[in-house]
A and B are shown apart, each in its own frame.
Chain A
Amino acid sequence: MEETEHRRIFDTWMSQHRGLLFKVVRAYAFNVEDRNDLFQEIVTQVWKSIPLFRAESHVTTWLYRVALNSSLAWTRKERKHWGRTQAFDGTERALSEPTREANPRLDWLHEEIAQMDHIDRSLTLLLLDGFSYRDMAETLGISESNIGVKLNRLKARLINKSKETNHHGS
Chain B
Amino acid sequence: MDLEELQVMWDAEHKESRFTLDEAGLHAIVQRRITESHRCAACRYRAEISISVVFASLTLIVASFLAFGSREWIDTLPWPKIVPTRWDITGLFIAGGVWLYFAWYLNRARLRLQRSGESFESSLHGDIDRALAWLDVQIKIARDIVWCGFVPLYAAIMLWVHVVFRLSTAPGRAATLNAIYVMAVAVMIAAFVMEVCCRRAAIRERYEPHRRELESLRRKLADSPTK
Contact = CB atoms under 8 A, between A and B. Distances in A.
Given A10-B27, A43-B29, 10 more contacts: A18-B17, A40-B30, A43-B30, A44-B30, A72-B131, A73-B131, A95-B19, A140-B125, A143-B225, A146-B225
Contacts of B126: 141
Q: What's the dominant secondary structure at chain B's contact region?
A: helix
A59 interface: no
A158 to B, nearest CB: 7
B124 A68 contact: yes
A122 B22 contact: no
Contacts of A44: 29-30, 33-34, 37
B3 A159 contact: yes
A140 B21 contact: no
Interface residues of A, number: 63
B20 A146 contact: no
Contact of B125 (A47, A94, A98, A141): A141
Contact of A146 (B121, B123, B223): B223
B9 A105 contact: yes
Interface of B: 1-3, 6-7, 9-10, 12-14, 17-23, 25-27, 29-30, 33-34, 37, 121-128, 131, 210, 217, 220-225
Contacts of B10: 23, 106, 109, 128-129
A55 to B, nearest CB: 14
Given A18-B17, A109-B10, A139 B124 contact: yes
A105 B223 CA distance: 33
B6 A162 contact: yes
B26 A43 contact: yes
Contacts of A141: 121, 123-126, 221
Contact of A22 (B12, B18, B223): B18
A48 B30 CA distance: 9
Interface in A120-163: 122, 127-130, 138-143, 145-146, 148-149, 155, 158-159, 162-163
